[in-house]
Amino acid sequence: MTMMAESPFPAEPAAEIPLASAPLVRVVTQLRFSTIASLTRMEFIAPFQESLRGTYPTMNDQRGVQFAFGPDGVVETQGDRQWKLTSDDGWTVVLGPSFVSLETVNYQSRANFLTRLAQVVTALRLIVDEIEIERLGVRYTDRLVGDYATELLPKLVRTDVVGLAAGAPPSVAVLASVTQAEFALADSSTMTTRWGLLPAGGTLTPDIQPVEEVSWVLDIDCAVTNLRLSEDVIMERSEQLCIHAHDFFRWVVTDEFIRAHGGEI
């Protein structure tokens, strides 16, 4: 019988347990690099598109969105031209002058995710070849709603993570409770984690869409900096980041969480 993980950073990676109804909002990885102005031109990025067109048949150009904090709160402004490639099964690749990202709402497994990422890295090398990746990040966002985010939460998430979301006396209504923790890991990667109870319409960060009911969100962002654009290097470090994120997730959730979402333990 599987027991809750003792540490979010175990010596051996936690075993993957497929979840039939995983509460993943999205999974995204991003490679950032110094601005390359040519990436805004259709004729320059054509080999990139052609390499991926079999999997991502639709391409549109768009303007990036930037968030700025001002006296009136968070303000959205338009950024640089980007290229958005989409598949028919819930996957998106976005190429901008200073980054490429792979995002999905249809995550199946780590192996499948890394295979998709390898395709994107290979396509990127066709047009830029030797560049330094300033930051490689992998981010997983989970959301619980309904009874899972309220009455059942203490059974699904370890007590020291639930915190005030379940610890207030009956006479007090907890409207929101959010925690952030940052870690520097032994392999030179970093991890930023955010989790908490949110009111209807609330969100942890501007890029996580709110929902119209109370929710509990877990957001795990693992990153490493200063890498060569090499398939072997990028894929090795990406897998490590995925493992770190999964280890933290397995430490946060209980065996009851796994069972409730279709996992077998």
Domain boundaries, the chain: 24-260
User: Residue 209 corresponds to which tokens in the numbers above?
Assistant: 């869409």
Helix axes 110-128, 42-52, angle to 10 degrees: 150
Whole-number pLDDT of residue 163: 79
Strands (E) in 73-131, as ranges, are 73-86, 91-96, 99-104
Whole-number pLDDT of residue 99: 96
Whole-number pLDDT of residue 87: 96
Distance CA 156, CA 143 (A): 12
- Distance set, CA 5 to CA 12, 155, 164, 213, 248 (Å): 11, 15, 22, 30, 9
Distance CA 159, CA 168 (A): 13
Going by the DSSP 8-state scheme, the letter that residue 157 receives in this structure is: B
Tell me the per-residue pLDDT of 39-71, one tens digit each, with 9 for 90 and over.
999 999 999 999 999 999 999 998 766 545 555
Whole-number pLDDT of residue 168: 65
Which has the closest alpha carbon to 195: 215, 173, 168? 215
- The 3-state DSSP class for residue 36 equals coil
Going by the DSSP 8-state scheme, the letter that residue 200 receives in this structure is: T
- Distance set, CA 40 to CA 2, 51, 99, 129, 224 (Å): 50, 17, 11, 17, 26
User: Residue 47 corresponds to which tokens in the numbers above?
Assistant: 């080999």
Whole-number pLDDT of residue 233: 94
pLDDT beneath 70: ranges in the chain = 1-3, 64-78, 165-169
Distance CA 164, CA 187 (A): 33
Sequence-distant (6+) residues with CB within 8 A of 127 are 39, 44, 45, 47, 48
Q: One-letter amino acid identity for 186?
A: A
